[in-house]
């Protein structure tokens, strides 16, 4: 195809073979869909564990196994071990990689020491280490090929996102929005490790790689220049966040990569207001979807979902590329389930906004998205800026954890629907003034979270979403936030994992549960599928943690741990202590420890042969 | 029965119900046999994983789950967490216990931070913590009832053994043979935690609770007094080892508890010789089986298996009580698979030696056991004393790891045979002079281990043993030492685990493999069985470690870790570095890391219902 000339040939080849699970999101489009159909709605009830593998690392295991041919590659959170496993001899380690990292990076990782996985291309494996080192390994031997330094943890920078390879480039983001890090996406040469370009999320157009005459928003050129400076007070853009820790997708035909940027600087909006006027204070380009040319880094179009964030609704969630009918017309869209609770359907060539609807009806901070301006209509009552510093804005839905966070959704071309792991949590949010010190927390809000009031009592839902209509098709309540990545399959079965540790298979038609299994630990990894020896397998990394599980992962469920956390974030203040620790996530998930404990384990499932 | 008046009624009641797995070794006799027969040689091939549970703790998981009714109790290595799990709602944590322990106990644990499990009796759960605290919990709530201090880690003392409850007493041993600890067994009151008696392994008869006129050896009263002093040079008995870290068994009818003592003081025999004469230097009562009255602690009989140890053949292995025919006569025997490679069949009432044969034919340090004296005939060539200090005695079989170590064997009353997880490893052993400092390593030998030469190349065997004939019935070779506890069942199936992480089911008749499954990590725990809701389950804790896995568990497979280990044990010396680290165990199992990684996970198996 014409498109593949723009892609990385080895990635395209590996992805096009459904026997592989070649990249973290399954394909460039980020669909997390597999054409495999040996496991069906009929026989999924017979799914059993084929084999298991402990990674030897505790704390949260995000991302999932990559399978290419007879080799599976898995990774761990800090210290970011990588294992190549022989699928012909399950669990046999072909090689292992681990480099020594400065453990001082641990405390500056906001939301657990997670890593969303490795990328494989051209016989190389790319690992983005917590300590900001991008490592290229020989995929056959595990031998180190090169290393590149993408950031500095003494300034609060770290890496958690999975790299993406397009052509001869590997793309890497940056984390540290809670430390006043200025976000960027960077392209490295896959062969040499040389930096090719870097596009910042804030600052002058040259840094952001925006051309106001060409870069589009809502289908039209931007016009205004240097919005990444002027929408901030003073030089606040220099600590303006907009980090890039989510998933990246790519359209080979349009030759565009897509990713989002995180929250602007501190969580205290007052500190980010120009002339105390929210209308002057979009804090661009935080909370923005970028479509960029992978060759040059130039921004083709931008769309800011939550201008002037007041709730930590990082806009980094994955942009899933799909071709669906909208208003009877076939459209090449990008669908984004944003933290802020709106699901956006956007023309991925132009950035034109087609649909923006709440994918949890209890979302209340905004009434709707203005389809002309693309801006949310903020409800005053829930405006933490309007309410002001040191005032507690209560019952804001969703909580800072968002209606969805890092957990990637899935799109099935068979049903034309999206299958979305979601959170169902609200919050109280009390901003406070905070001073910036490089390498220190730059949060500026006390947050407390709880299950959405007057709902089913649980903190999550797994939903099917019609992105053309902007409507929930069905919804399955869950006790905890659904923090694992979903999978859909040609077999008609969708899969997701729960924080208690269940992997659950449901009928894609109606969400009816077909099967469940209790894995060793809570699941925040993604469920992947592949074949080996002609047989379909389902594989997932358990290992509770991530932001939702930070209480367990970082020991914040005990008073002593929580106090230490508060001391680092707001010296001298211990508001609510355990409840508000871990950026507010600990209280909501406090009972998680009654269901599961830490531990990284790969579990591989199959339908056993008849005996 | 008359016997049960001497036992603990709740323990007897729980043990007699085959639906439970009521104590670590299954019953007081230590048989690790279950009368359950739903899982048979026919259907074991259909065994599948029912559910899993990560303990959240890395390093070696020994012992196994206790099941009483619908509750399962599991424990972890340091920090010795205990979980009560609801079997009606698999993996749901009813309560969790964890107390804060001084991490300085970790480096004085010779052979990983293992714990061999908890005991449950009278609605209480007893946990022997690494830091020498014996804890009693309310088994229903996990509430702490009392704590008792059994030792002092600053002197090199620690706890790893599972406590045993008989009547109103709970028995606890002590570890630290590599730190010159003087071993003892101690009885505590189950209700108050008060110490009731303590019997030392070395020293004056009063301390050892020996009465030379009554205490028997080889069926006759000892006669001589204070052998625990006179068989040592000077006051070496005060740092004389004889620690009691193995398994304890009990005969309710004879009202005798059985246990063994470990290696004498340092590993350098020259330092333990009286007048440089081995004939004067039995180093009593190290390496000894004790039969004691649980009420008074008095020694009924003793049998020293390896007088004047020269190879670290700790005599602590479990004494399995069985009633078998020996020379056509029904005998109440005790069978002991000793580290030194001999299996002893002993009249358990009198201590009379009935059979003593090698259970690995390659054992070479002694030619045989003299049946009149009970003493091994040491082969000069392998005498590390005869060869002398700073001389390397090579190709001694077995290695210090023994032909069997902590991994408990099983006895099936159905076949009358013993099923024994064994090691198949030899060593080079070079003693050196060492000075005693309390709390410092007191080892005095450099050891290097390797697979038994000219054999199958592997380092383990799983064997069936005829304890009346003193003969191997069948033997299955394994790549690594078989470090997990065996299980036999009425269903005709025996189970064991491997260091690679496989649980393996074999036909008890011929050892033929019927089924295997790769659990998340190497298995050094014991395989237990129980029913829940009328259905039979098999359960095991994975989590590689123990002495065999110390390289992985303690990070000694890397030069830096190995160097640090050597520095602590023999300042300024780094002989062989990695190979000889971890008391010589690291080199032999160096390739283990290609098969498995750390991680404590419970895996529960069942035969799924037909769907
Ligand atoms: O602002 C940032 O740089 C940043 C980084 C990360 C990260 O790298 O994991 C998270 C977040 N923010 C965040 O807001 C968030 O909700 C979050 C959840 C998780 C997770 O892995 O569970 N990471 C992060
Ligand atoms: O002398 C002692 O006090 C002592 C203690 C322990 C222990 O407590 O684990 C072991 C040993 N020795 C020992 O010799 C040995 O082989 C051993 C193996 C293991 C194990 O758990 O794998 N522990 C111990």
CB-side neighbour CA atoms (13 Å) of A469: 9
pLDDT for residue B1 is more than 80: no
Which among B312, B338, B405, B466 is annotated as catalytic?
Answer: B312
Asked if B70 is an active-site residue, the reply is: no
The whole-chain average pLDDT of chain A stands at 96
Q: Decide if B571 touches A, using CB distance below 8 A.
A: no
- From residue A41, how far is each of A37, A465, A506 by CA, in Å? 10, 20, 8
The whole-chain average pLDDT of chain B stands at 96
CB-side neighbour CA atoms (13 Å) of A261: 35
Compute chain B's Rg from CA coordinates. Answer: 22
Of the candidates A484, A587, A473, the one whose C-alpha atom is nearest the C-alpha of residue A527 is A484
Q: Do A518 and B51 touch (CB under 8 A)?
A: yes
Residue A546 Cβ < 6 Å to ligand 1: yes
- What's the burial of B235, exposed, middle or buried (CB within 10 Å: 0-12/13-18/19+)? exposed
Can you give the length of chain B in residues?
611
Tell me which chain B residues have a C-beta less than 8 angstroms from the C-beta of A552: 56
- From residue A10, how far is each of A21, A241, A322, B547 by CA, in Å? 13, 34, 22, 45
B185: CB partners within 8 A, 6+ apart: B171, B172, B173, B198, B199, B201, B244, B248, B259, B290, B292, B297
The minimum-distance atom of ligand 2 relative to the CA of B116 is 21
Q: Do B92 and A595 touch (CB under 8 A)?
A: yes
pLDDT for residue B576 is more than 80: no
Q: Answer yes or no: are the C-beta atoms of B530 and B66 closer than 8 Å.
A: no
Of the candidates A158, A56, A61, the one whose C-alpha atom is nearest the C-alpha of residue A98 is A56
Q: Which residues on adjacent β-strands are paired with residue A274?
A: A277
Residue A128 Cβ < 6 Å to ligand 1: no
Q: What is the mean pLDDT of residues A548-573?
A: 88
Residue from B42, B46, B49 whose CB has the most chain A CBs within 10 Å, to mutate: B49
The minimum-distance atom of ligand 2 relative to the CA of B483 is 22
Q: Which residue has the tokens 């016997």?
A: B3
Distance CA A542, CA A518 (A): 10
A297: CB partners within 8 A, 6+ apart: A185, A187, A196, A197, A198, A199, A209
Distance between Cα A547 and ligand 1 center (Å) = 7
C-alpha B2 chain-centroid distance: 30
Q: Do B52 and A51 touch (CB under 8 A)?
A: no
Q: Do A91 and B48 touch (CB under 8 A)?
A: no
Looking at residue A610, what is its pLDDT? 74
- pLDDT, tens digit, for every residue of A346-391? 999 999 999 999 999 999 999 999 999 999 999 999 999 999 999 9
Q: Between A46, A53, A58, which is nearest B56 by CB?
A: A58
Distance CA A57, CA A498 (A): 20
Compute chain A's Rg from CA coordinates. Answer: 22
Q: Decide if B597 touches A, using CB distance below 8 A.
A: yes
CB-side neighbour CA atoms (13 Å) of A496: 32
Q: Decide if B92 touches A, using CB distance below 8 A.
A: yes
Q: What is the mean pLDDT of residues A533-547?
A: 97
Q: What angle do CA B560, B427, B240 make, to 5 degrees?
A: 85
Of the candidates B482, B485, B483, the one whose C-alpha atom is nearest the C-alpha of residue B527 is B485
Residue A160 Cβ < 6 Å to ligand 1: yes
> Active-site residue numbers of A?
312
CB-side neighbour CA atoms (13 Å) of B202: 34
- Mutation test of ligand 2: which of B111, B241, B429 has the most ligand atoms closer than 8 Å to its C-beta? B111
- pLDDT, tens digit, for every residue of B219-270? 999 999 999 999 999 999 999 999 999 999 999 999 999 999 999 999 999 9
B435: CB partners within 8 A, 6+ apart: none
Looking at residue A574, what is its pLDDT? 78
Q: What is the mean pLDDT of residues A213-221?
A: 96
The minimum-distance atom of ligand 1 relative to the CA of A263 is 1
Tell me which chain B residues have a C-beta less than 8 angstroms from the C-beta of A54: 501, 520-521, 542-543, 596-599, 601
- pLDDT, tens digit, for every residue of B521-534? 999 999 999 999 99
Distance CA B281, CA B309 (A): 9
**How many beta-carbon contacts under 8 Å exist across A and B?**
117
Q: Do B53 and A92 touch (CB under 8 A)?
A: no
Residue of A nearest to B51 (CA): A518
Q: What angle do CA B208, B210, B211 make, to 5 degrees?
A: 150
**Model confidence at B560, in pLDDT bands (50, 70, 90)?**
confident
Can you give the length of chain A in residues?
611
Q: Could you list the beta-strand ranges (E) of B255-326.
A: 256-260, 288-292, 299-304, 319-326
Q: Decide if A595 touches B, using CB distance below 8 A.
A: yes
Distance CA B373, CA B393 (A): 26
Q: Do A92 and B594 touch (CB under 8 A)?
A: yes
Ranges A515-529, A554-568, B185-199, B452-466: which has the least confidence: A554-568
Distance CA A96, CA A90 (A): 15
Tell me which chain B residues have a C-beta less than 8 angstroms from the C-beta of A601: 52, 54, 520, 599, 601
Looking at residue B587, what is its pLDDT? 85
Distance CA A382, CA A314 (A): 17
Of the candidates B599, B485, B594, B486, the one whose C-alpha atom is nearest the C-alpha of residue B543 is B599
Smallest CA–CA distance, residue B122 to chain A, in Å, is 25
Distance CA B424, CA B549 (A): 15
Mapping DSSP onto H, E and C, the string for A97-152 reads: ECCCCCHHHHHHCECECCCCCCEEECCEEEEECCCCEEEEEECCCCCEEEEEECCC
Smallest CA–CA distance, residue A141 to chain B, in Å, is 13
Looking at residue B589, what is its pLDDT? 86
Share of chain B above pLDDT 90, in %: 92
Distance CA B605, CA B611 (A): 17
One DSSP character per residue, A279-332 reads GG---TTTTEEEEE-TTT--EEEEEESSSS-SS-------EEEEEEEETTEEEE
Structure-block tokens of residue A326: 């909208």
**Model confidence at A4, in pLDDT bands (50, 70, 90)?**
very low
Distance CA B75, CA B81 (A): 5
- pLDDT, tens digit, for every residue of A142-164? 999 999 999 999 999 999 999 99
**Model confidence at B611, in pLDDT bands (50, 70, 90)?**
low
Of the candidates A287, A340, A347, A304, the one whose C-alpha atom is nearest the C-alpha of residue A468 is A347
- pLDDT, tens digit, for every residue of A234-286? 999 999 999 999 999 999 999 999 999 999 999 999 999 999 999 999 999 99
- pLDDT, tens digit, for every residue of B262-314? 999 999 999 999 999 999 999 999 999 999 999 999 999 999 999 999 999 99
Q: Do A518 and B96 touch (CB under 8 A)?
A: no
Q: What is the pTM of this model?
A: 0.97
Residue of B nearest to A602 (CA): B520
The minimum-distance atom of ligand 1 relative to the CA of A339 is 16
Share of chain B above pLDDT 70, in %: 99
Distance CA B66, CA B610 (A): 28
Distance between Cα A435 and ligand 1 center (Å) = 21
Residue B471 backbone dihedrals phi, psi, to 5 degrees: -135, 145
- From residue A257, how far is each of A207, A243, A251, A306, B418 by CA, in Å? 18, 16, 6, 21, 65
A17: CB partners within 8 A, 6+ apart: none
The minimum-distance atom of ligand 1 relative to the CA of A401 is 16
Q: Decide if A93 touches B, using CB distance below 8 A.
A: yes
């Amino acid at each position: 195809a014409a498109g593949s000339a723009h892609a990385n040939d080895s990635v395209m080849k590996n992805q096009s073979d459904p026997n592989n699970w070649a990249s973290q999101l399954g394909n460039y489009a980020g669909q997390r869909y597999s054409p495999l159909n040996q496991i069906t709605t009929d026989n999924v009830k017979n799914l059993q564990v084929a084999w298991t593998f402990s990674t030897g690392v505790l704390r949260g295991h995000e991302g999932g196994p990559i399978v290419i041919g007879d080799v599976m590659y898995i990774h761990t959170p800090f210290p970011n071990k990588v294992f190549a496993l022989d699928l012909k001899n399950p669990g046999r380690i072909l090689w292992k990689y681990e480099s020594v990292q400065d453990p001082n990076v641990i405390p500056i990782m906001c939301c657990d020491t997670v890593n969303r996985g490795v990328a494989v291309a051209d016989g190389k494996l790319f690992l983005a280490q917590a300590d900001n080192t991008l490592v290229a390994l020989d995929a056959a031997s595990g031998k180190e090929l090169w290393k590149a330094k993408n950031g500095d943890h003494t300034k609060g920078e770290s890496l958690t996102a999975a790299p993406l390879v397009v052509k001869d480039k590997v793309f890497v983001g940056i984390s540290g929005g809670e430390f006043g890090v200025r976000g960027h996406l960077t392209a490295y040469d896959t062969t040499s490790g040389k930096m090719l370009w870097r596009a910042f999320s804030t600052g002058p157009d040259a840094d952001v790689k925006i051309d106001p005459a060409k870069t589009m928003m809502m289908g039209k050129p931007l016009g205004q220049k240097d919005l990444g400076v002027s929408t901030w007070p003073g030089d606040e853009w220099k600590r303006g966040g907009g980090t890039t820790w989510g998933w990246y997708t790519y359209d080979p035909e349009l030759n565009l990569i897509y990713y989002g940027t995180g929250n602007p600087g501190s969580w205290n909006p007052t500190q980010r207001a120009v002339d105390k006027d929210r209308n002057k204070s979009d804090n661009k380009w935080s909370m923005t979807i970028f479509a960029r040319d992978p060759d040059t880094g130039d921004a083709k179009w931008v769309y800011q979902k939550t201008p002037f964030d007041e709730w930590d609704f990082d806009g980094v969630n994955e942009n899933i590329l799909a071709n669906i009918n909208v208003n009877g017309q076939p459209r090449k869209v990008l669908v984004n389930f944003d933290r802020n609770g709106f699901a956006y359907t956007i023309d991925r060539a132009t950035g034109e906004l087609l649909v923006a609807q709440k994918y949890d009806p209890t979302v209340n901070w905004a009434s709707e998205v203005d389809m002309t301006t693309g801006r949310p209509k903020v409800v005053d009552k829930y405006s933490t800026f309007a309410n002001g510093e040191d005032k507690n804005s209560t019952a804001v839905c969703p909580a800072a954890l968002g209606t969805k966070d890092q957990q990637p959704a899935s799109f099935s071309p068979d049903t034309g629907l999206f299958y979305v792991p979601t959170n169902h949590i609200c919050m109280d949010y009390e901003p406070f003034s905070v001073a910036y010190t490089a390498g220190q927390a730059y949060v500026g809000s006390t947050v407390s979270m709880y299950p959405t009031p007057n709902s089913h009592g649980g903190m999550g839902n797994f939903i099917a979403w019609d992105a053309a209509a902007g409507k929930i098709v069905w919804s399955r309540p869950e006790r905890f936030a659904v923090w694992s990545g979903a999978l859909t399959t040609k077999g008609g079965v969708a899969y997701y994992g729960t924080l208690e540790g269940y992997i659950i298979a449901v009928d894609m038609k109606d969400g009816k549960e077909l099967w469940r299994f209790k894995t060793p630990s809570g699941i925040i990894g993604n469920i992947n599928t592949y074949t080996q020896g002609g047989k379909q397998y389902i594989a997932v990394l358990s290992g509770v943690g991530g932001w939702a599980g930070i209480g367990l992962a970082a020991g914040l469920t005990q008073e002593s741990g929580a106090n230490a956390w508060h001391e680092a974030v707001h010296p001298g203040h211990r508001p609510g202590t355990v409840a508000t620790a871990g950026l507010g996530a600990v209280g909501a998930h406090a009972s998680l420890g009654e269901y599961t404990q830490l531990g990284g384990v790969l579990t591989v499932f199959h339908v056993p042969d008849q005996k």
